[in-house]
């Protein structure tokens, strides 16, 4: 029993070791000197999904990978690259999942169609529930 508890403790503590002990990337938490470029970077970072947290944008996440992605966005914007080009590069590298607004396609069709199907099912259920029954 003790070994089982020890094994469970080791397995549950594994996420603690996921981040390295390296210092954060430059520009991960440092704003750009040019306010217009920083605004572009923040706008783009708010639309990119953290691949570690999956529920947060890279702007909101404390994960090391999100910090690296924030630094990458800021470096590229500081270098003069346009936000849409950076987004395309990230999508090519990580796939459509990196954005909160994936394009419609075979892999994402269910994401776009499921809400409509659920709405239609709800309307049909409500219609049947409120239909007048003959006396």
Return the pLDDT at 15: 60
Return the pLDDT at 30: 81
For the chain, domain boundaries: 22-102
Cα torsion at 19, 73, 47, 39 (round to 10°)?
120
Collapsed DSSP state (helix, strand, coil) of residue 43: helix
Divide the 135 residues of the chain into consecutive groups of 10 and give the mean pLDDT of each group: 81 63 67 91 93 86 88 94 95 87 79 90 92 70
Is the whole-model pTM more than 0.85? no
Tens-place pLDDT, residues 27-42: 677 888 899 999 999 9
| Phi, psi angles (nearest 5°) of residue 99 | -105, 155
Q: Which helix (H) or strand (E) holds 91?
A: helix 83-94
Q: Is 129 exposed, middle or buried (0-12, 13-18, 19+ CB in 10 A)?
A: exposed
What class has domain 22-102?
A: mainly alpha
Q: Is 126 exposed, middle or buried (0-12, 13-18, 19+ CB in 10 A)?
A: exposed
């Amino acid at each position: 029993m003790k070994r089982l508890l020890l094994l469970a403790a080791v397995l549950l503590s594994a996420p603690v070791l996921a981040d390295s002990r390296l210092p954060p990337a430059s520009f991960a938490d440092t704003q750009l000197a040019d306010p217009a470029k920083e605004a572009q970077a923040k706008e783009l970072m708010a639309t990119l999904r953290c691949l570690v947290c999956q529920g947060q944008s890279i702007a909101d996440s404390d994960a090391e990978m999100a910090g690296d992605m924030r630094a990458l966005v800021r470096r590229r914007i500081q270098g003069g690259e346009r936000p849409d080009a950076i987004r395309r590069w990230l999508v090519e590298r990580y796939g459509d999942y990196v954005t909160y607004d994936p394009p419609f396609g075979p892999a994402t069709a269910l994401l776009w169609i499921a809400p409509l199907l659920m709405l239609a099912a709800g309307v049909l259920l409500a219609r049947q529930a409120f239909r007048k029954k003959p006396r």
